[in-house]
Structure 1
Amino acid sequence: QIAMSFSDLESIDPKIKQIVERQIQAWETADSDKLIADFAEDSWFIVPGSTFRGKQQIKAAANQYFLEFTATKVIIKRIIVSGNEGTVEW
């Protein structure tokens, strides 16, 4: 398991960095199609108080978020990678 802050992003696998950067862009441009493109069909997206399972639930939750919040700025707090699983706290 590897935990790092955004400032450590330069030291991680370039493929992971690309995924994180695509996700930042998707959130900041309110693009739910781009957002779910990196998720596996059986992914979980967990936010305080809610868990969304699968690409369609994640996309629906993102679309609802984008309706309520029209300007999002992503600031990465922590990235955790373990094998083929990972999480990003922002």
Structure 2
Amino acid sequence: MARREKKGRPTSIRLFPETERYLMRCPGRSLTDKFEYLVTFCMKREEMLAKVEEDYQKRFEAFEEELKRKEKLLYKLQETIKDLIAEIEKEKGR
């Protein structure tokens, strides 16, 4: 990686074989490069997913508002139909 910051203290980790195989498929010359690539990728992906989630939440809220408006309209239409039916039945009764 082309980073200019100073690296921290040496750290060792033990990995499950499956995790190690996955890590070794990442780009990079050394295990440190591969690990840094993977963490950086996850950090960027996390930021992107947070933005996507925020956008979906806004769209969901807009859909909820639209649904409420449509439910109110449906209720008004049902009441109007009931009133019209009552008027028609009243007219028939005369």
Q: TM-score, normalised by structure 2?
A: 0.23
Q: TM-score, normalised by structure 1?
A: 0.24
The answer to which structure has the higher strand fraction is: 1
The answer to which structure has the higher helix fraction is: 2
Q: Kindly indicate whether structure 1 or structure 2 has the higher relative contact order, using CA contacts under 8 Å at least 6 residues apart.
A: 1
